Amino acid sequence: MTGTRTFTMIKPDAVEDKNIGNILQMITDAGFTIKAMKLRRLSTEQAQEFYAIHSERPFYGELVEYMTSGPIIAAILEKDNAVEDFRTLIGATNPAEAAEGTIRAKYAESIGRNAVHGSDSDENAEIEGNFHFPVAEVVA
């Protein structure tokens, strides 16, 4: 059975470009319900831990620097088939390859500064949501 929750971040470039409202509108228009949300700035240690899976990749240092360059929005979202449907809504990692009308096609600057995060599996959605929110901060 596919899960009903995913985790997202609106990344520093999109916050800086004043696209929080536009992106949240696209997310709720697509049928997602927000179950938890906050604005926060990640420390270097927090960004390193969140992206630990990428620690061997050549862009890891750049990624951590970018993700700590300004505040982000972290949110837990609910919808049937949440993980897959959200990845469809955000589009490919590289905005040049993202389908028309997707969040990254509209608002991402580059493969690195790509406006939004979306979990890639139900398991990671839970891990990532728990990383940012204690259970008590998630709406039932």
E strands, 1-140, are 5-10, 33-40, 72-78, 116-118
User: Please, what is the minimum distance in Å from the beta carbon of residue 43 to ligand IDP?
Assistant: 18
- Considering 5, 35, 117, 132, which one is annotated as catalytic? 117
User: Please, what is the minimum distance in Å from the beta carbon of residue 136 to ligand IDP?
Assistant: 28
The residues, ordered by sequence, that sit 6+ positions from 47 with a Cβ below 8 Å of its Cβ are: 63, 64, 67, 68
Q: Assess 117 for contact with ligand IDP (CB under 6 A).
A: yes
Separation of CA 122 from chain center? 14
Question: In this chain, which stretch among 20-28, 42-50, 110-118, 121-129 interacts with ligand IDP, using CB under 6 A?
Answer: 110-118
Catalytic residues: 117
